[in-house]
């Protein structure tokens, strides 16, 4: 058994994990007897519990995971000869002696990926004539097809960003992981700070901020619409005390909060409780009406047992309605408490940082939320396009109150690093979006704001010499 101090590095039941095969990722939760489908294969994660993170498992028959054994030294191609030229090799589809049925038979006999690859090499008439590089490429291709392995990773900001960017980049506004890292650095995210976050990236940016803060401080999520979206936050698998630092506030109530005219119902849940009480009474009126008409129906019926059954059914319906109304009331009270707590944090206007990454136009959101920041605090805005950030940059220069404004973009290139084969990868990301960053300052309210104009001295008159004709 593992020690208690080692539990955080081991896979436990209920944990959120990331499955990896090659460059493909998928976030799942470890649940008993839960069937997981990943890359056209299904398996169960029960046997993964207790193993260390980053362990590679083999998928055996019945969808059972087994830790992969240490590979033997040497590759299957080490004992084979290698050619010097591929030009005389003709790809006519007849070089492989094994058919698809033969390969399926090998699988039924219990042969695993490495053993099947060895059989393919031995039954290939052109493998030994290929160059060493071509042989490695052939083996790599067959491993990807026949090796039934999966690696279980611990969720992190980088891994989840790569997962979303590879599978569904539109959900995170095409935010790349290197751009996300720059956002966290430019916003000076650290433990103990109070950070405002406005994002529509499925909770990826919010979860990254919470991970960097380590459960210390306050994170206020400014959300549009009816409620916050936190699918990405759940994939991080944070402990319970991390969520105690998370608050939420609707962006539609920000102007009212700044004006000091926040709706009283938003802070006092009693008004909404009365509304829900009236709604519950209205829902209970139809059963009463039915009960008023029931004596006439009962006089026409002769079976008293049916009458008792109908009355019991009506009572159960009333109980369900009351329980539903009570549940709504409890949820409303919790929502109002969260709203009041977030409003209390915002009223101080002493936030330590602002992070914006959304599909909405950032200019009005930025100009509004900057008023909640203390002086000398950083802010960063992400956009997939530069034109909205140029508008923000121009507006900030006109209004003032900020310094060190910078509009940047990032460029990322992956390299293949192999002996005698180091070169940039042919396929790469075209762009990682744009970032606008800056620092707030305390505006001097005593002096009227005047447009900044550079005063140049009047040009001197040129002396002309008199010329005698």
pLDDT score recorded for residue 362: 95
Rounded CA Rg of the chain: 33
pLDDT score recorded for residue 148: 81
pLDDT score recorded for residue 462: 65
pLDDT score recorded for residue 303: 56
pLDDT score recorded for residue 305: 56
Per-residue b/e over 9-36, b at no fewer than 16 CB within 10 Å? ebbeeebbbbbbbeeebbbbebeeeeeb
pLDDT score recorded for residue 145: 77
Q: What is the pLDDT of residues 117-149, one digit of tens each?
A: 787 887 777 777 778 778 788 888 877 777 788
pLDDT score recorded for residue 54: 92
Is 0.75 topped by the overall pTM? Answer: yes
- Is-contact 148 19, C-beta < 8 A? no
The three-class DSSP label of residue 438 is strand
Nearest to 235 by CA among 11, 16, 10: 16
pLDDT score recorded for residue 4: 58
Domains of the chain: 100-148 (no CATH), 164-266+335-443 (3.40.50.150)
pLDDT score recorded for residue 304: 59
Work out whether strand 149-153 and strand 55-59 pair parallel, antiparallel, or are unpaired: antiparallel
Q: What is the pLDDT of residues 208-224, one digit of tens each?
A: 999 999 999 999 999 99
pLDDT score recorded for residue 264: 46
20/140 Cα distance (integer angstroms): 17
pLDDT score recorded for residue 265: 42
pLDDT score recorded for residue 99: 78
Residue showing tokens 């039954």: 123
pLDDT score recorded for residue 209: 96
Q: Is 392 exposed, middle or buried (0-12, 13-18, 19+ CB in 10 A)?
A: buried
Token readout for 252 is 């539609």
pLDDT score recorded for residue 320: 82
Beginning with the edge strand found earlier in the chain, give each strand of the sheet holding 402-409 in spatial order.
246-250, 218-223, 194-199, 353-357, 378-383, 434-440, 402-409
User: Which residues of the chain have a pLDDT value below 50?
Assistant: 1-2, 73, 76-77, 79, 264-265, 268-293, 296-298, 302, 451-455, 469
Q: Count Cβ atoms below 10 Å from residue 101 Cβ, excluding itself.
A: 8
Alpha helices in 39-131 (DSSP H): 100-108, 113-122
276/329 Cα distance (integer angstroms): 7
């Amino acid at each position: 058994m593992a020690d208690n101090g080692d539990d955080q590095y081991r896979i436990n039941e209920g944990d959120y994990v990331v499955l990896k095969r090659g460059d493909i990722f998928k976030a799942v939760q470890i649940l008993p007897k839960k069937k997981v489908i990943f890359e056209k294969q299904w398996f169960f994660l029960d046997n993964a519990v207790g193993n260390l993170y980053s362990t590679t498992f083999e998928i055996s028959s019945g969808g059972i995971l087994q830790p992969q054994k240490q590979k033997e030294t040497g590759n299957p191609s080490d004992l084979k000869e290698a050619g010097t030229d591929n030009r005389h090799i003709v790809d006519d589809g007849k070089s492989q002696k094994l058919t698809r049925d033969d390969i399926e038979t090998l699988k039924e006999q219990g042969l695993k990926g490495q053993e099947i690859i060895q059989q393919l090499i031995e039954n290939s008439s052109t493998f030994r004539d290929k160059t060493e590089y071509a042989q490695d490429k052939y083996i790599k291709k067959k491993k990807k097809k026949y090796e039934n392995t999966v690696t279980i990773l611990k969720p992190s900001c980088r891994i989840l960003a790569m997962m979303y960017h590879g599978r569904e980049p539109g959900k995170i506004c095409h935010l790349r992981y290197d751009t996300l890292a720059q956002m966290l650095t430019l916003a000076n995210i650290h433990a103990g700070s109070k950070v405002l976050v406005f994002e529509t990236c499925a909770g990826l940016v919010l979860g990254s901020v919470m991970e960097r803060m380590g459960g210390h401080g306050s994170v206020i999520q400014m959300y549009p619409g009816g409620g916050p979206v936190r699918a990405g936050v759940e994939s991080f698998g944070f402990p319970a005390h991390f969520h105690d630092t998370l608050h939420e506030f609707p962006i539609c109530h920000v102007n009212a909060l700044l004006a000091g005219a926040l709706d009283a119902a938003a802070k006092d849940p009693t008004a909404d409780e009365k509304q829900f009480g009236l709604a519950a009474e209205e829902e209970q009126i139809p059963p009463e009406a039915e009960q008023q008409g029931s004596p006439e129906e009962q006089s026409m019926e002769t079976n008293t047992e049916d009458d008792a059954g109908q009355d019991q059914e009506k009572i159960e319906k009333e109980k369900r309605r009351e329980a539903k109304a009570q549940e709504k009331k409890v949820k409303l009270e919790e929502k109002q408490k969260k709203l009041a707590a977030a409003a209390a944090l915002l009223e101080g206007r002493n936030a330590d940082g602002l992070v914006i990454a959304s599909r909405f136009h950032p200019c009005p959101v930025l100009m509004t939320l900057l008023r909640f920041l203390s002086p000398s605090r950083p802010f960063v805005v992400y956009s997939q396009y530069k034109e909205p950030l140029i508008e923000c940059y121009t507006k900030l220069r006109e209004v003032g109150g900020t310094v060190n404004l910078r509009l940047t973009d990032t460029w990322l290139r992956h390299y293949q690093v192999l002996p005698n084969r180091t070169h940039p990868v042919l396929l790469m990301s075209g762009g990682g979006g744009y970032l606008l960053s800056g620092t707030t300052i305390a505006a001097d309210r005593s002096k009227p704001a005047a447009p900044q104009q550079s005063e140049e001295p009047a040009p001197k008159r040129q002396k002309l010499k008199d010329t005698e004709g």
